[in-house]
Structure formats: structure tokens, C-alpha cells
Amino acid sequence: MHVISTSSKVNNSEHLIEVKGLVKYFPVLSRGIIRTKRIGWVHAVDNVSFHIDEGETLGLVGESGCGKTTLARTILYLIPPTSGTVYFDGENVFEVFKSGDKSKIMELRRKMQILFQNPYTFLDPRMTVKEILSEPFEVHGVLDKEKITDAVFKLLDMVGLEPYHADRYPHEFSGGQRRRISIARALALEPKFLILDEPVASLDMSIRSQILKLLIKLQQEKKLTYLCISHDLNSILHVSDRVAVMYLGKFVEIADVETIFKKPAHPYTKALISAVPVIDPKTGRERIILQGEVPSAINPPKGCRFHPRCPHTKDICKKREPQLVEIEKGHLCACHLVSG
Ligand code: SF4
């Protein structure tokens, strides 16, 4: 079993976020009458490395259950990692949390925020919007009481809501408005890095585009850095500078958004891209239908994890795991049949 890395406290890299060899396994337990036994591990995130530069948006795409949300929560230490390292602005995030230093932990929590997938679950239905938006200031003690109301009105204005919305409860809003309240809350403490977990899931098309536009506008105004997670490649392509494709706990391809869209190299990415609707039918793009379901992360397939569903599987794919290698500048792919 892996142990948490003891790598250095400070990293000299110029990237705002640097993730190195991140692993998160969950135990699979069998409960007997007398005792509970561990009978395996769910390989939710398996040796993932990447970076995000300041002001950049990295899109992270993959089917449901591929480990995207676990990766996001592990980066923020909302769930502890099995091994690996995350640096934020040169600081080792896991070391800070393990140190128990409350002021440093609060500072990291302020700078690294997450916009949770479902606003219903984290906007308390018994609290007014004013109370919801005041809470981060109160918990972190960053504003005097008399200044908090002004700050709440500024947040509402920032996300396109009106001052009178402050006295209403979450159930009185539409899905799009609730998403705006979540964004206001996530940005209340002026973070530098924001994880967007399915930011437009279950919204209508026109509302999706409004929310994505708002997120892009706020990123430019506040120089934010985003990790945007979605199973919907269409949304990812709209907001991202680069895209990482995840399959069964591993990254299989990373490239800038244009390369991923026009020249995907990995067979899984090609299948995802082929499902994105195109306006011009002359592109001649054929839909690739993948066979079967995503295999279980408890016993991932040997060799290339994608081989049971890949239309190009060779013998080597079943025996040897392909590594994520640079096939051209800034374009990484993990496939035996793709080389630079
Ligand atoms: Fe398909 Fe083999 Fe490439 Fe995996 S390594 S994606 S199975 S061709």
C-alpha cells in the first residue's frame, strides 16, 4: 500500500498548481459478524501528475465514475490522499494540512475554493442568501460585522443578482440563480484557485451559456485559475485553455483545447470528441460508439485500462500499461500505438 509522500515543503516551479503522482485508493470492506475485512481497493485516482498555470483553465473530462471528483477533493485535502504531492503557489498543500497549523490551513482554504456540483446540497435551505454569503466572512473573521452586509451586496452584484435577493431562501430561486449564489459564495474570500465541479450540470442550454460566460468574465476580472471538471466535453471546450482526459483513474491525454478538438490522439478522446455536435456537417466526422461499460475501478484491467473497449487493441495493450508521454510540444498521450 502506498504511503503519503514526504517530499519537500516548497516547490520552485512557476506553476500555480502542480500535482505529482497523486494516488487515492478507497478500501473495499466486507463486514462479517465478528470483524470487518478489507478485500480490495477502489483505484479512484492512480498516479496522476499535471500542472495549471496562473490565470489558466484546465478542463478535466471523462465519463461519470472515472475519478474526476475524487481528484478535485483530494487536491483540496477534503479527502486525504493515499500518496503524491500537490503544490499551490510553491507550497506543499498536504504538508500544511498534516502540520495542523490552523492559520496556514485557513489561509489555504481561502485561496483554494471549490464550486460544488449540486447547489441544493450545500446551500442550507434554512438560511437566507444574506446568511449564506455572510458565513465565509464570519468563519474566517476577515471583515468587521458592519462591513459584511456591504460585502454581501457587492457579491450579489458581481454575479448578476439584485440586493432584494439577499432576504430570500435558496428554494425561491431558479437553478441558474442558485448557481450564481454558489459562485458568489465560492468567490467571497477572493481565492486564487477555484475548482468548478460540473458547473453547469442539469441547467438548460441557454442558462449554461450564461453561467459559463459569467465564469469567464470573473476569471478575467479577478485573475482566477480554474480546474473545470465535467463529463460534458462541449462545456469544457468553451471555457478551457488546455484539456486533460481521464479514464478509470488515469490521465490518458492532455493538450491545448484546439489540439484536443482537431487532432485528438488517444482512441478514447477520439470517441468523446466524435460525440460533440458540430454545426458544419461537411467536417465529415464520424461518431465512434464505444462498446461496453467503464470497467470496475476495484479490479482495473491489466495493461491499458481502456483495452476492453478500444477498437484498436493489440496484444501489447493487454500486457503493458502505456505511459503518458509527450508526442509533440505540450501534447501528452498514453497509448502504445501513438508516438511522437
Ligand atoms: Fe487502445 Fe492499445 Fe492505445 Fe490502449 S494502448 S488506447 S488499448 S491502442
- Please work out whether the CB of residue 333 comes within 6 Å of at least one atom of ligand 1: no
CB 259 within 8 A of CB 331: yes
pLDDT tens track for 121-170 = 778 899 999 999 999 999 998 888 889 999 999 999 999 999 999 999 99
pLDDT tens track for 229-271 = 998 888 898 899 999 999 999 999 999 999 999 999 999 999 9
Share of the chain above pLDDT 70, in %: 93
- Please work out whether the CB of residue 264 comes within 6 Å of at least one atom of ligand 1: no
Question: How many C-alpha atoms does 154 have within 13 Å on its Cβ side?
Answer: 10
- Confidence (pLDDT) at 110: 95
Q: What is the mean pLDDT of the chain?
A: 90
Whole-number Cα distances in Å, 292 to 289, 296, 317: 10, 12, 17
* Sheet of strand 250-256, all strands in order from the earlier edge strand to the far edge: 112-115, 193-197, 225-230, 57-61, 242-247, 250-256, 331-333, 325-328
Task: Return the exposure string of 282-319: e unless at least 16 CB atoms fall within 10 Å of the residue's CB, then b.
Answer: eeeeeeeebeeebbebeebbebbbbbebbeebeeebee
CB 248 within 8 A of CB 48: no
pLDDT tens track for 7-45 = 444 565 689 999 999 999 999 988 887 788 888 899 999
Asked which of 11-20, 53-62, 147-156, 205-214 is least confident by mean pLDDT, the reply is 11-20
Nearest CA to ligand 1 atom 3: 335
Q: Give mean pLDDT, residues 86-105.
A: 96
Distance from C-alpha of 50 to C-alpha of 228, rounded to nearest angstrom: 14
Q: Ligand 1 center to residue 42 CA distance, Å?
A: 22
Q: Ligand 1 center to residue 335 CA distance, Å?
A: 5
Q: Give mean pLDDT, residues 273-291.
A: 71
Q: Give mean pLDDT, residues 110-115.
A: 96
- Please work out whether the CB of residue 109 comes within 6 Å of at least one atom of ligand 1: no
The answer for residues whose C-beta is within 8 angstroms of residue 294's C-beta and 6 or more apart is 63, 65, 66, 247, 248, 309
Flag whether pLDDT at 2 surpasses 50. no
pLDDT band at 3 (very low <50, low <70, confident <90, very high): very low
Which has the closest alpha carbon to 42: 330, 305, 302, 300? 300
- Please work out whether the CB of residue 310 comes within 6 Å of at least one atom of ligand 1: yes
Residue the block writes with cell 481561502 = 110
- Confidence (pLDDT) at 226: 97
Flag whether pLDDT at 115 surpasses 90. yes
> Which atom from ligand 1 is nearest to the alpha carbon of 316?
2
What is this structure's pTM? Answer: 0.91
Q: Ligand 1 center to residue 267 CA distance, Å?
A: 7
Q: Ligand 1 center to residue 63 CA distance, Å?
A: 17
Terminal-to-terminal C-alpha distance of the chain: 34
Which has the closest alpha carbon to 87: 20, 25, 24, 23? 20
- Confidence (pLDDT) at 161: 97
Flag whether pLDDT at 279 surpasses 80. no
Flag whether pLDDT at 278 surpasses 80. no
pLDDT band at 6 (very low <50, low <70, confident <90, very high): very low
Q: Give mean pLDDT, residues 265-288.
A: 78
Which contiguous run of DSSP H or E holds residue 176?
helix 175-187
